[in-house]
Amino acid sequence: VELDAKKIQRIIGDSFNVIIMAHKNLDLDALGSSLGMYFLCKKVNKNAFLLIEETTSEKGVARALKSLKEQQTKINIKTFLELQSLLNEKSLLVILDVHRASLTQNKDIFKMINNIIVLDHHIKDSEYIDKTLYEYIDSNQSSTSEIVIELLKELDIYIPSSIATIMLAGIVVDTNHFSLKTTSFTHEAASYLYENGAEINELQYLLKEDLDKYIMRQKIINKLEIVSGNKAIGCGEENDYYRNEEIAKIADTMLSFNEVEASFTIARINDETVGISGRSLGNINVQKIMEKFGGGGHVTDAAAQIKEESIDLIKQRLLEVFNQL
């Protein structure tokens, strides 16, 4: 399916107002793409709102939201409760960077709005929002920001520099600094953001991270093992808990070392669940390997979650899978 900017513009034009919503645990791509969409709506003279329930966010997102408040860039952010009285049957809901209702900021909004657009770059799940007016889910796209930029470019819309910086941060995070899923279109999208005044210094502030998280990732990388000459495995401790994004990031880092063709991180997500993330340069199909663990993804980028099993046992199973390759 091609991205149909004109159709999206038409649907927005026909609506009474637009509610823009992304996933829980808002990240810079979710926020950046939401802000891009917000300006797209403004440029077609449509009243738009960002639906954000969360009162706390990761530091980059919190900084971005704070800087928007301090500038004259007035962004209308509301909770579901505050929005209710503003909706009617011609209201439009634009869902960004997610396509599972259960993962959105507030799924109650789906009871109030029937007109829905979904734009996302995650691998399509068996749970998805049906009955949309328009849907574009393409896991080959680097980020949802890249998708929204394509719309902005096609409709000849310029955005404020502060928004451009946040969208650039979204692309940088989702591509791990232009190393994953990056195409000429990704660079063109970044180029559009620089033209719109994206600032490299502010970008660095948005990308700052907690030292604690870095140290937790290093803990796994320090114990990395190289198996059969080209596969890196890094395992967390049973009593250390990691977020999915962190597990993926560790695999990204391990892939960058000499000789490594594929990398795997195994670490605990919560008491019941262990996550595995696999990354490859393309010669080893990590999707096939993750499917053995009930997961999925792409040839170069895949993951699985395993319930009620120890990290050590999962590592042994992974080694057995390697032997079958």
- Residues lying near Mn ion in the complex (CB under 5 A): 29, 97, 143-144, 174
Minimum gap (Å) between residue 322 Cβ and Mn ion: 30
User: What gap in Å lies between CA 187 and CA 108, rounded to an integer?
Assistant: 37
Identity of the residue, 139 or 204, whose beta carbon is nearer to Mn ion in the bound complex: 139
Minimum gap (Å) between residue 144 Cβ and Mn ion: 5
Minimum gap (Å) between residue 20 Cβ and Mn ion: 15
Minimum gap (Å) between residue 120 Cβ and Mn ion: 8
The H or E element containing residue 50 is strand 48-51
Identity of the residue, 22 or 286, whose beta carbon is nearer to Mn ion in the bound complex: 22
Closest CA to 49 of 90, 94, 18, 22: 18
Residue with tokens 């011609």: 90
Closest CA to 174 of 146, 198, 199, 194: 146
Identity of the residue, 143 or 162, whose beta carbon is nearer to Mn ion in the bound complex: 143
Vertex 42: Cα angle to 38 and 46 (nearest 5) = 105
Minimum gap (Å) between residue 316 Cβ and Mn ion: 33
Residue with the shortest CB distance to Mn ion: 29
**Other beta carbons within 10 Å of 73:** 16
Identity of the residue, 26 or 260, whose beta carbon is nearer to Mn ion in the bound complex: 26
Identity of the residue, 251 or 266, whose beta carbon is nearer to Mn ion in the bound complex: 251
Region of residue 140 (phi > 0: left; psi between -120 and 50: alpha; otherwise: beta): alpha
Identity of the residue, 24 or 288, whose beta carbon is nearer to Mn ion in the bound complex: 24
Minimum gap (Å) between residue 269 Cβ and Mn ion: 19
Minimum gap (Å) between residue 121 Cβ and Mn ion: 6
User: What gap in Å lies between CA 63 and CA 61, rounded to an integer?
Assistant: 5
Identity of the residue, 174 or 202, whose beta carbon is nearer to Mn ion in the bound complex: 174
Amino acid letter for position 128 = Y
β-strands 296-298, 301-307 pairing = antiparallel
Minimum gap (Å) between residue 176 Cβ and Mn ion: 12
Identity of the residue, 144 or 186, whose beta carbon is nearer to Mn ion in the bound complex: 144
Amino acid letter for position 136 = Y
Helix locations, the chain, DSSP H: 5-14, 28-43, 59-70, 80-83, 144-154, 161-174, 184-195, 200-206, 211-222, 244-255, 286-291, 311-324
